[in-house]
Chain A
Amino acid sequence: MKFRKLMMAMTAAVMMLGMGSVQAADLRVGVEGAYPPFSWKESDGTLKGFDIEIAEAICAEMKRKCVLIEQDWDGMIPALKARKFDTIIASMSITEERKKQVNFSDKYYNTPAKFVARKGAGLEISKEGLKGKRIGLQRGTTHQCFMEKMYPDAELVLYGTQDEVFQDLAIGRIDAQFSDSIAADDGFLKTDAGKDFEFTGADQHDEACHGPGAGMTVRKSDDELRMELNKALKAIRANGVYQKINAKYFEFDIFGG
């Protein structure tokens, strides 16, 4: 009798395991929604942007349903660790500092960082030139690391979202802003608010701060998911889905060398 009960329990357990592998669970993806053109929110609340479409493409490739979960930028990593979602697809750069807390897939794009200032402001990008200048940037980004390391004499003004940085740059509360060049170009310079502004100085890059590019973020314990994400990323690069999305937003390949 006892033996039969045990057998039934074991059969049930095996069946449940089997079902699990047939019907894959939803993939919960943390996204931001305030970082055009990579992610933004339409007035009706739907999320749009390069990151969002990449997320959908990755999910489709993995044959799992995407559940997009919005999260403020500076709470991204804590929320991932707290299992509010399984991966972050939100233009998060792969850096050593972050790797102490989480793991990354391969990069899915890499674009340089640049300063933006008012046209004709004559801002010189050097230790002396930036001394005491108010430089706006988004808190918790690789750009915070870069500025604190390379230009410690500049006065950093930290914002919660990139949108707020552009807003305060437009009305003159800060002398310049420092961010990803694509985000600055599409999110600000090409808009009406940014018509009096321009890129200042060359591309800025520091390997330790900026890392090899933006990756999909997973918990350290989720190595299997990391491999699956890498496989899906390779697949959408190979079958042209990535390039199609890329072309929708940018005139050149942002995957980088």
Chain B
Amino acid sequence: MGDSIVQFLETWSPIDIVLIAQNFDRFLWGALTTLELTLISLVVGGILSIPLAIIRAGNNPFLNAPVWLFTYVFRGTPLLVQTYLIYYGLGQFEWIRETFLWGPILSQAWYCALIAFSLNTAAYTTELLRGSIVNTNRGEVEAAKACGFSSPMRMRRIVLPSAFRRALPAYSNEVIFMLHGSVVASTITIQDLLGVGRWLNGRYYLAYEGFITAAVLYFIIVLAVSRGFRFWEKHWLQHLYPREALEVKPAKGAASFRI
């Protein structure tokens, strides 16, 4: 039975499914590397972006200017260039190769990608959060002031929680962009999902098989991510949706009414 299925696929399938099946574990390992890189850089970048966004939303020019420069540079240059600068660029300097950072971190492709991705997503998330902080409803801030909240407390208790929630839909885009951007890792020798696709193409000279399998797996990951965000948006942004009219069951004999 198994043999006849294999034979059927080998004869009739336009792409070499048997070869994909034989190497599918490699693709799963690749997917794991992709997820790992994307998730860790989102966490690192996310944590970095919170203080940076608060600085960008405030009006201290000495703090604001360097953060602005940072986001401008990282949003203004392609991720591929940033990754190359860190991987190939830094390695060019002998004094960097002699620091303690070289052996454990900068000589490793994985860490170079992680640094580039984290800084890149930090820059985008900073600007995204800044917009969200600036657009906080005035009334909420004034109410907190009236209740005697200090400025840091206002930020922590009122502005940030609300800003995070409102940034959620835009942030889901950033997550998907970062996932797609992580293919850059394959250009600096990391065997991520695309890297495995390229390996297969390099080994068997079959472009479709490798890249279609990678594409399908990326698609599945993005589907899961966007589903997850939709769920969280429903959960955390409930208070912003137009309220559905509640039908109140009329008491006997009374006219029905809506609240």
Chain B: interface residue total (CB-CB under 8 A): 19
**CB-CB nearest 4 A-B residue pairs:** A140-B202, A139-B202, A78-B207, A171-B91
Contact in complex: A74, B201 (CB < 8 Å) = yes
Considering the complex, give the chain A residue whose CB is closest to the CB of B103: A172
Contact in complex: A140, B107 (CB < 8 Å) = no
A→B interface (CB under 8 Å): 74-75, 77-78, 97-98, 100-102, 136, 139-141, 144-145, 148, 157-160, 164, 167-168, 171-173
Task: Say yes or no for B151: interface residue by CB 8 A criterion.
Answer: no
Which of A77, A144, A159 lies in contact with B189, CB distance below 8 A?
A: A159
Residues of A with C-beta under 8 A to B92: 171
Bound CA–CA A75/B208 (angstroms): 11
- Known contacts A78-B207, A173-B91; A157 and B202 CB within 8 A of each other: no
29 contacts between A and B (CB under 8 A): A74-B201, A77-B205, A77-B207, A78-B205, A78-B207, A97-B203, A98-B205, A136-B189, A139-B199, A139-B202, A140-B201, A140-B203, A140-B205, A144-B202, A144-B203, A148-B203, A157-B189, A158-B189, A158-B191, A158-B195, A158-B202, A160-B187, A164-B88, A167-B88, A168-B91, A171-B91, A171-B107, A172-B97, A173-B91
Considering the complex, give the chain B residue whose CB is closest to the CB of A98: B205
- Known contacts A78-B207, A157-B189, A158-B189; A171 and B97 CB within 8 A of each other: yes
Bound CA–CA A159/B199 (angstroms): 10
Q: What secondary structure prevails in chain B residues at the interface with A?
A: helix
Bound CA–CA A172/B107 (angstroms): 8
- Known contacts A158-B189, A172-B107; A74 and B88 CB within 8 A of each other: no
Considering the complex, give the chain A residue whose CB is closest to the CB of B195: A158
Bound CA–CA A97/B206 (angstroms): 10
| Distance to closest chain B CB from A213 (angstroms) | 18
**Number of interchain pairs (Cβ within 8 Å):** 54
Contact in complex: A173, B199 (CB < 8 Å) = no
Considering the complex, give the chain B residue whose CB is closest to the CB of A99: B205
Bound CA–CA A114/B195 (angstroms): 25
Within 8 A of A (CB), among B73-107: 88, 91-92, 97, 107
| Distance to closest chain A CB from B80 (angstroms) | 12
Which of B107, B187, B201, B206 lies in contact with A173, CB distance below 8 A?
A: B107
Bound CA–CA A102/B207 (angstroms): 13
Interface string of B182-197 (1 = CB under 8 A from A): 0000010101000100
| Distance to closest chain B CB from A23 (angstroms) | 34
Bound CA–CA A102/B206 (angstroms): 11
Considering the complex, give the chain A residue whose CB is closest to the CB of B112: A173
Which of A100, A145, A159 lies in contact with B203, CB distance below 8 A?
A: A145
Residues of B with C-beta under 8 A to A74: 198, 201-202
Residues of B with C-beta under 8 A to A140: 198, 201-203, 205
Considering the complex, give the chain A residue whose CB is closest to the CB of B203: A144
Residues of A with C-beta under 8 A to B107: 171-173
Bound CA–CA A101/B191 (angstroms): 25
Contact in complex: A97, B204 (CB < 8 Å) = yes
| Distance to closest chain A CB from B191 (angstroms) | 8
Task: Say yes or no for B109: interface residue by CB 8 A criterion.
Answer: yes
